[in-house]
């Protein structure tokens, strides 16, 4: 008989199965198979659950199996010492090995089986039994032990581990039969005809067992589109920046030349951020010349010879092959540089502007709970005459206040293309600490004047990541749970806003 037939036979004779595990042992079947069959029979009304019970069982770890087989380290160490003769520790280690010597020495001394005699060891006890191995064999055979104190010690030594075993009781159900017949799922046209005219092999509906229909069951949840949390926060930031009079920059390209990403920003070609371990370089095409020749010459001259208050980076500091390399942009400031160049060289001359962008950037970083090799940068800049650090601080405070960050501090910092530069910190009341939320500064003259911007025009700028405020808002601890396919859109759809 198969397992299901044996289960039905037991229910027919005994009216119940008191313990599914014991029954599985009795018929030499897998316990999980027995449970699956009983639950399936319950679904068809052939069996009814009578309850469940959970018991604790002890099993041996891999190390415990070795001890039960070969003896405990202390007993092996004791057995290796001659009866009436001292042995040096070096010779003993050579006999039993470093591991047994290291693990067995402490218990041997504690149990007063051995004692030191100068640099040697001698036996003290004459009648020693390996209680540890005996206990482990008892556990292996019965799943428990009579000495609970010794069992706890074995657990501490990681020789045994505790496991839970759950078993079930079942009795006859309201539809019990000695043999289970397959129930029909639904009516067919052929079942509804006359019994006389039934096709061969077809059973009339009145003679058919149907599966029960649960009319109170909830239907499946109707799926609907959800906005990704990053997109929701991005839309909020975009609305705020447009309310503040900023125009959005066209940042819909991820590959940039090193010239626009680094050189135009007066970032030296020897800067470590331009190394392969910090920046992703494009293999095909590896280079480009997507920059105006006369502007390139002015940038190269400032890098080598300086100007506008700078002494430059010296002879040999600028090479066209380095500037021509294609990369995945490391910041959207590469687009800001192009917008400022166009602003300086547009028909009718320079006009004050406020720009912003929110787009993806790439850094060759090791990924962890707070870092990815790609993220979003939120950037804003204002180009106008006679701007000051006070204007920059005022705009930053206004923006962060609109997104709920009202307690803001500024700290002096260094950036290759801004002077002065400031890191922006916000106080988080839930974390009860100040956390960095952005960076800012005034673009250097060495960057702006080669573009052709008039004297007196200054550019203030600031930026932050999109991910950090999104993680704060949705209380996400690991950025990998936010970015990409692992984001839980249903959980975050109606998440409360966490404000600073």
Q: What is the pLDDT of residues 281-291, one digit of tens each?
A: 999 899 998 88
Q: Are 57 and 143 in contact (CB under 8 A)?
A: yes
250 plus 142 within the same structural domain: no
Say how many CA atoms lie within 13 Å of 88 toward its Cβ: 4
Task: Determine how β-strand 160-172 pairs with β-strand 47-60.
Answer: antiparallel
* Nearest in space to 466 (alpha carbons), one of 375, 383, 366: 375
In a domain, 319, yes or no: yes
Taking the model in full, what pTM does it have? 0.54
Residue 458 domain flag: yes
Q: Tell whether 140 and 285 lie within a shared domain.
A: no
Domain total of the chain: 3
What is the C-alpha radius of gyration for the chain, rounded to an integer number of angstroms? 39
Based on the domain organization, do 444 and 311 belong to the same domain?
Answer: yes
How far apart, in Å, are the Cα atoms of 437 and each of 36, 78, 468, 484?
54, 64, 7, 22
Residue 96 lies in a domain: yes
Position 476 scores a pLDDT of 73
Round to whole Å and give the CA distance between 110 and 85.
21
**Given the DSSP bridges, would you call strands 16-17 and 160-172 parallel, antiparallel or unpaired?**
antiparallel
54 shares its domain with 76? no
Q: Is 497 helix (H, G, I), strand (E, B) or coil?
A: coil
Same domain, 88 and 47: no
- CB atoms closer than 10 angstroms to residue 474: 21
155 forms beta bridges with: none
- The number of helix segments (H) and strand segments (E) in the chain equals 18, 15
Give the residue among 341, 336, 377, 338 at the shortest CA–CA distance from 354. Answer: 336
Question: Domain range holding 28?
Answer: 3-60+160-172
* CA 486 from centroid of its chain's CA atoms: 8
Contacts of 105 (CB under 8 A, 6+ apart): 74, 77
pLDDT at position 346: 93
- Domain membership of residue 22 (yes or no) is yes
Same domain, residue pair 52 and 135: no
State the DSSP string of 429-443: TTTTEEEEEEEEEEE
Of 139, 172, 205, which marks where a domain is finished?
A: 172
* Residues 298 and 336 reside in one and the same domain: yes
If asked whether residues 89 and 167 sit together in one domain, one would say no
* Predicted pLDDT at 496: 47
Q: What is the CATH number of the domain that holds 374?
A: 3.30.930.10
Stretches in the chain below the pLDDT threshold 50:
496-500
Which of 126, 156, 186 is where one domain is finished? 156
- The DSSP line for 363-381 is ------SS--SEEEEEEEE
In the listed set 90, 125, 156, which residue is the last one of a domain according to the structure? 156
Query: Does residue 52 lie within any of the structural domains?
Result: yes
- Do 24 and 144 have their domain in common? no
Return phi, psi of residue 384, to 5°. Answer: -160, 175
CB contact set of 453 (below 8 Å; sequence gap of 6+): 340, 343, 344, 350, 383, 459
Strand, helix or coil at 383? Answer: strand
CATH number at residue 165: 3.30.1370.240
Secondary structure letter of residue 253 according to DSSP: -
What confidence score (pLDDT) does residue 378 get?
93
Please list, in sequence order, all residues whose beta carbon lies within 8 angstroms of the beta carbon of residue 86, skipping any fewer than 6 positions away. 117, 120, 121, 122
CB neighbours (10 Å) of residue 218?
A: 6
- Would residue 178 count as lying in a domain? no
The answer to whether 4 and 180 have CB atoms below 8 angstroms apart is: yes
215 belongs to a structural domain: no
Encode pLDDT of 260-319 as tens digits. Answer: 999 999 988 888 877 876 889 999 899 998 889 999 999 999 999 999 989 999 888 899
Would you say 95 and 80 are in contact if contact means Cβ atoms under 8 Å apart?
yes
Q: For residue 85, what is the domain's CATH number?
A: 1.10.10
User: Could you tell me the CA-to-CA distances from 459 to 19, 103, 387 in Å, in that order?
Assistant: 79, 69, 7
* 376 and 463, same domain (yes or no): yes
Any domain includes 220: no
Peptide bond into 420 cis (omega under 30): yes
Q: Are residues 39 and 120 in the same domain?
A: no
Q: What is the pLDDT of residue 232?
A: 85
Same domain, yes or no: 30 and 109 = no
């Amino acid at each position: 008989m198969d397992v299901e037939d044996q289960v039905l036979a037991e229910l027919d004779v005994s009216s119940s199965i008191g313990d599914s595990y014991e029954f599985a042992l009795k018929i030499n079947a897998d316990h999980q198979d027995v449970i699956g069959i009983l639950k399936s029979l319950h679904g068809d009304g052939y069996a009814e659950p009578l309850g469940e019970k959970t018991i604790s069982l002890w099993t041996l770890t891999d190390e415990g199996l070795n001890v039960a087989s070969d003896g405990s380290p202390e007993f092996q160490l004791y057995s290796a010492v001659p009866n009436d003769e001292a042995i040096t520790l070096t010779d003993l280690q050579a006999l039993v090995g470093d591991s047994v010597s290291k693990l067995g020495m402490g218990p041997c001394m504690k149990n007063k089986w051995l004692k030191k005699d100068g640099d040697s060891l001698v036996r003290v006890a004459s009648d020693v039994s390996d209680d540890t191995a005996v206990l482990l064999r008892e556990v292996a055979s019965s799943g428990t032990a009579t000495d609970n104190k010794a069992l706890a010690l074995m657990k501490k030594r990681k020789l045994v581990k505790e496991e839970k075993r759950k078993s079930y009781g079942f009795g006859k159900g309201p539809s019990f039969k000695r043999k289970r017949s397959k129930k029909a799922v639904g009516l067919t046209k052929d079942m509804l005809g006359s019994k006389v005219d039934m096709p061969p092999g077809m059973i009339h509906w009145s003679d058919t067992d149907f599966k029960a229909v649960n009319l109170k069951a909830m239907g499946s949840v109707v799926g609907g589109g959800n906005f990704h949390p990053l997109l929701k926060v991005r839309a909020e930031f975009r609305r705020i920046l447009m309310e503040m009079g900023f125009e959005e920059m066209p940042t819909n390209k991820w590959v940039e030349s090193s010239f626009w990403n680094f050189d135009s920003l007066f970032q030296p070609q020897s800067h470590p951020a331009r190394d392969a371990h910090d920046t992703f370089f494009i293999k095909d095409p590896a280079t480009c010349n997507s920059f105006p020749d006369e502007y390139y010459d002015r940038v190269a001259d400032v890098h080598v010879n300086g100007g506008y208050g700078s002494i430059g980076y010296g002879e040999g500091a600028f090479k066209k092959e380095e500037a021509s390399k294609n990369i995945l942009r490391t910041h959207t400031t590469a687009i800001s540089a192009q917008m400022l160049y166009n602003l300086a060289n547009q028909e009718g001359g320079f006009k004050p502007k406020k720009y912003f962008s929110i787009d993806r950037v790439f850094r060759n970083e090791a990924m962890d709970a707070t870092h990815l090799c790609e993220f979003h940068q939120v950037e804003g800049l204002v180009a106008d005459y006679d701007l000051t650090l006070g204007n920059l601080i005022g705009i930053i405070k206004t923006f962060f206040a609109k997104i709920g960050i009202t307690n803001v501090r500024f700290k002096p910092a260094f950036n290759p293309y801004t002077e002065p530069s400031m890191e922006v910190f916000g106080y988080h009341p839930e974390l009860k600490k100040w956390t960095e939320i952005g960076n800012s500064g005034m673009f250097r003259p060495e960057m702006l004047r080669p573009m052709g911007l008039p004297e007196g025009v200054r550019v203030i700028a600031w930026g932050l990541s999109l991910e950090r405020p999104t993680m704060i808002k949705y209380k996400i601890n690991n950025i990998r749970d936010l970015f990409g396919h692992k984001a839980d859109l249903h959980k975050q759809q109606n998440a409360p806003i966490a404000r600073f």
